Amino acid sequence: YLQHENFFNKSKKFICIRKNGKIANLEDLKSDDIVILSSQTSQKEAKIL
Protein backbone atom coordinates (compact mmCIF):
# COMPACT_ATOMS: atom_id res chain seq x y z
CA TYR A 1 0.00 0.00 0.00
CA LEU A 2 2.66 2.53 0.98
CA GLN A 3 4.44 2.21 -2.37
CA HIS A 4 1.24 3.38 -4.10
CA GLU A 5 -0.07 5.68 -1.35
CA ASN A 6 0.34 8.76 -3.57
CA PHE A 7 -1.76 7.08 -6.29
CA PHE A 8 -4.54 6.30 -3.78
CA ASN A 9 -4.46 9.82 -2.36
CA LYS A 10 -4.80 11.39 -5.82
CA SER A 11 -7.61 9.00 -6.82
CA LYS A 12 -9.93 10.12 -4.00
CA LYS A 13 -12.87 8.13 -5.37
CA PHE A 14 -13.11 4.66 -6.84
CA ILE A 15 -10.19 2.49 -7.86
CA CYS A 16 -10.58 -0.46 -10.18
CA ILE A 17 -8.19 -3.41 -9.75
CA ARG A 18 -7.76 -5.49 -12.91
CA LYS A 19 -5.85 -8.69 -13.54
CA ASN A 20 -5.47 -10.02 -17.09
CA GLY A 21 -7.84 -7.35 -18.38
CA LYS A 22 -10.71 -8.34 -16.05
CA ILE A 23 -11.85 -6.91 -12.74
CA ALA A 24 -9.94 -8.85 -10.09
CA ASN A 25 -11.59 -10.91 -7.38
CA LEU A 26 -9.61 -9.75 -4.35
CA GLU A 27 -9.93 -13.16 -2.66
CA ASP A 28 -8.18 -14.83 -5.62
CA LEU A 29 -5.14 -12.53 -5.71
CA LYS A 30 -1.88 -14.17 -4.69
CA SER A 31 1.53 -12.88 -3.75
CA ASP A 32 3.51 -11.69 -6.81
CA ASP A 33 0.40 -11.25 -9.00
CA ILE A 34 0.65 -8.18 -11.25
CA VAL A 35 -2.48 -6.02 -11.32
CA ILE A 36 -3.48 -2.69 -12.86
CA LEU A 37 -4.83 -0.02 -10.51
CA SER A 38 -6.95 2.51 -12.35
CA SER A 39 -8.96 5.52 -11.33
CA GLN A 40 -10.88 8.01 -13.43
CA THR A 41 -7.71 9.95 -14.17
CA SER A 42 -4.74 7.58 -14.02
CA GLN A 43 -3.52 4.01 -14.19
CA LYS A 44 -0.60 2.20 -12.56
CA GLU A 45 0.80 -1.32 -12.55
CA ALA A 46 1.27 -2.87 -9.10
CA LYS A 47 2.56 -6.13 -7.66
CA ILE A 48 0.66 -7.93 -4.90
CA LEU A 49 2.93 -8.53 -1.90
Residues 47 and 37: beta-carbon distance below 8 Å: no
pTM exceeds cut of 0.75: no
> How, if at all, do strands 43-47 and 22-23 pair?
unpaired
Tally of helices (H runs) and strands (E runs) in the chain: 1, 4
Residues 4-47: pLDDT tens digits? 666 666 656 677 889 999 999 989 999 999 999 887 778 888 88
